[in-house]
Amino acid sequence: MDGGVASSAAADKTTAHGDATVNVHVQHTYKLPDFLNSVKIKYVKLGYHYLISNFLTLCLLPLIIVVTIQTMQTNPNDLIQLWLHLKYNLVSVLTFSAFLVFGSTFYILTRPRPVYLVDYACYRPRDSLKLSLEHFIDRIRLAGYFDESSIQFQRKILERSGLGDDTYLPEAMHFVPPQTSMQAAREESEQVIFGSLDNLFANSKIKPKDIGILVVNSSLFNPTPSLSSMIVNRYKLRGNVKSFNLGGMGCSAGVIAVDLAKDLLQVHRNTYAVVVSTENITQNSYRGIKKSMLIPNCLFRVGGSAVLLSNKSSDKTRAKYKLVHVVRTHKGSDEKAFRCVYQEEDSDGKTGVSLSKDLMAIAGGALKTNITTLGPLVLPISEQLLFFATLVVKKLFSKNVKPYIPDFKLAFDHFCIHAGGRAVIDELETNLELMPVHVEPSRMTLHRFGNTSSSSIWYELAYTEAKGRMRKGNRVWQIAFGSGFKCNSAVWEALRNVKPSENGPWEDCIDKYPVKIVQ
């Protein structure tokens, strides 16, 4: 439940960023010369990008034409003499063929195996578990845990959070006072995990016995036996299944789990991997009055996802996506970063997750480090040259030169920014110079489902599919933040025009979105 990454900033943030909406066009007044200049700059940059991206083609094309013409003018007798030379030099031909076969075999056996995302499912709770913001305030007042100052603070957070009135809390939290027993927590996890997996198996037509790798991540709720063992028991997975249970890794653990599954799929041939991402609300709500610990109470909601990955070449034709890159950044060696999202007891001995005032600055630093690694892998050469040139000028001539921010819109078609809170979405929209449509999936996921921790990036991907925007060849950037402090990215490429799977999380409400986000 440390995905309140953006939450502390959300509490104090009432700037223009907080007023941004995804379906309202902001009107600006431009002077005509300024507008014309901006259009000129835009097309100059597009021309530069096209020229650099196709530089080799533009250079080689004339050379190929010249060589082709020269070859056509060659004396046919010369070609006949070359063939006879090769025909009678049997040793050279056999040696060359052997090296070719050996080299090809070595390459095929040692190259990374592609990892395909066959399908995925997000959990949608039943309607009776919805809780509007006003009812949430009424419940916490009746629970008797908080003084009036703490209640009003939580109301303030909720009003600015970007959450709507259709988010879900677990059944145990609807009681007054809430039932926070181990049994109630187990029931919440079972409903979320089994609900996601049932849907996944039904849509993919995969039998549980076919699963060779299972990775489960849940940050705060880790009972014994583990959640992964609970899945093995329920679905009777085979005895040699490679099972892993990740705990305490925060809202970015979904990408970590995918990375682990990817590495295992490089070792184990022709198998399936299932990644389950979830969090538990029942046992992890804070009951004290320390404000930095109250924010997660307001933002976290019920949710979970199950993702089916495969390394079988036969699955390429039916898979939705191919995994292109995973980049992980860990800032835990820095003490401030390590403690900025920290589970601890307050002065009254009540346990909660404390969020530091430095959270947004630390998240920004982690993001910068992450995209410094990711950029060269995904950005076109034109953007890399501009970035490098700016860096050289800054180092050699003037330290006042602003660093060039690469245009990641040239590398990605869709963005799934972890819906940790309104502030983090605002910051990434501004710093990466994204358009409102690029952050729409994140804002709408936060509004409809709240912060569902590590599974939020999958609700966002499902939103993009439900809107019919995912086309073959599109690239998706999933980016998540978590305790430690971590910033992790996953890049996927659509293998076809992707349609939403049956019983998707947005199936009953996609026509209502996007909605206006009020302050």
Q: What amino acid positions are annotated as catalytic residues?
A: 251, 330, 414, 418, 447, 451
| DSSP codes of every residue in 261-284 | HHHHHHHS-S-EEEEEEE---TT-
CA 6 to the chain's CA centroid: 15
Please name which of 477, 386, 392 lies closest in space to residue 49, comparing C-alpha atoms.
386
- Residue 361 CB-half CA count within 13 A: 6
| Residue pair 453/280 in contact by the 8 Å Cβ criterion | no
**CA distances, 516 to each of 22, 112, 434 (Å):** 7, 44, 18
Q: Give the span between the Cα atoms of 374 and 329, in whole angstroms.
A: 10
Say which residues have a Cβ less than 8 Å from residue 305's Cβ, sequence separation at least 6.
120, 121, 122, 123, 196, 254, 276, 277, 278, 455, 458, 459
CA dist., res. 12 & res. 28, Å (int): 27
Which residues, in sequence order, are bridge partners of residue 399? none
What does R_g of the chain's alpha carbons equal in angstroms? 27
By residue count, the chain amounts to 519
Side-chain-facing half-sphere of 384: CA atoms under 13 Å:
14
List the structure tokens of 278: 């979830």
* Residues in Cβ contact with 2 at an 8 Å cutoff, skipping those fewer than 6 apart: 219, 250, 251, 296, 341, 343, 353, 482, 483
Q: Please identify which residue in the block is written with the tokens 């050699």.
A: 396
- Residue 148 burial (CB < 10 Å; 0-12/13-18/19+)? exposed
